[in-house]
Amino acid sequence: MAVFTKVILFTDTDGFARFREEQIPLGEGTPQAMLSEVFASGGYQLRQSPVGFRSQFHCTVTPQWLFVLRGHMEIVLQDGSSRVFGPGDHFYSVDVLPEGASFDAKVHGHWSRQLGSEPLVTLFVRA
């Protein structure tokens, strides 16, 4: 059976953001158009970030998918590791602030930046 690899940015039990991957079965549809089950969504937003954009450390407020439509985006974690996402790439962002915690920019979240010579265009789909 075909699968879709879901990249997940999540908050681990120690409060730090990490990446992991999960397989979603594509068990519906036809051999020419293999589909996953239907997932609920809560709306979407489009964002354009200019050349040179860089955020500060932050957590995801609402779990959401992020799809890169144009340009390149780097996500950097507290441990200094990073991943670069380009057109067609995605991740599911659930690195929310742990319940009862106060945000600490030395522990929680991630930061992102635009890379390259063209603006970054992304699509956020709320879960």
- The domain total for the chain is 1
Give dist(CA 109, CA 4) in Å, integer.
25
CATH code of the domain in which 112 resides:
2.60.120.10
**Of 41, 45, 34, which is closest to residue 4 (Cα–Cα)?**
34
Q: For the segment 35-87, what is each residue's pLDDT rounded down to a tens digit? A: 999 999 999 999 999 999 999 999 999 999 999 999 999 999 999 999 999 99
Expressed as residue numbers, the domain containing 104 is: 3-126
Residue tagged 């992020």 (tokens):
66
pLDDT band at 1 (very low <50, low <70, confident <90, very high): confident
As a whole-number percent, the residues of the chain with pLDDT over 90 amount to: 99
